[in-house]
């Protein structure tokens, strides 16, 4: 599967790499721990309609999930940026199932509609979270 181009570490100065690693490392550590620990996780922000709709869709489907909220439109944008940089997903919500990024509202609703989300919850080994 093709991947989008990313700047290789060798093309980034050591000082910039260190700054990137330190950018809200506490938030990234928290996010990684929750994704590794809980089966379904939704990361979102206050007053975001997409977040509300995806959580309602999960609830209506009987899918328990952990919700982690990082600020709203006028707060904690840097923390949310750190999460986006870590996951590579550009928007919120970010939905993880068994350690795998499912996507946002549209992809989550599609996975609920086609049964693939519930199928992935039907047992089997946990997929390890992304590093």
Give 82-91 pLDDT, tens digit per residue. 999 999 999 9
In terms of DSSP bridges, do strands 66-69 and 40-44 run parallel, antiparallel, or are they unpaired?
Answer: parallel
Contact 97, 39 (CB under 8 A): yes
3-state secondary structure of 119: helix
So what's the pLDDT on residue 64? Answer: 96
Give the global pTM. Answer: 0.90
- What is the C-alpha separation between 94 and 11, in angstroms, rounded? 29
Question: Class of the 39-120 domain?
Answer: alpha beta
- The closest alpha carbon to 58, from 111, 122, 101, belongs to 111
């Amino acid at each position: 599967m093709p991947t989008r181009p990313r700047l290789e570490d060798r093309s980034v100065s050591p000082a910039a790499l260190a700054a990137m690693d330190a950018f809200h490392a506490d938030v990234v550590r928290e996010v990684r721990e929750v994704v590794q620990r809980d089966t379904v996780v939704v990361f979102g922000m206050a007053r975001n309609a997409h977040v509300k709709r995806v959580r309602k869709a999960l609830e209506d489907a009987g899918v328990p999930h952990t919700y982690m909220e990082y600020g709203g439109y006028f707060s904690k944008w840097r923390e949310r940026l750190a999460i986006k940089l870590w996951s590579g997903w550009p928007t919120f919500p970010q939905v993880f199932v068994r350690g795998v990024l499912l996507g946002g509202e549209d992809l989550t609703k599609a996975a609920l509609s086609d049964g693939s989300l519930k199928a992935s919850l039907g047992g089997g080994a946990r997929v390890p979270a992304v590093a």
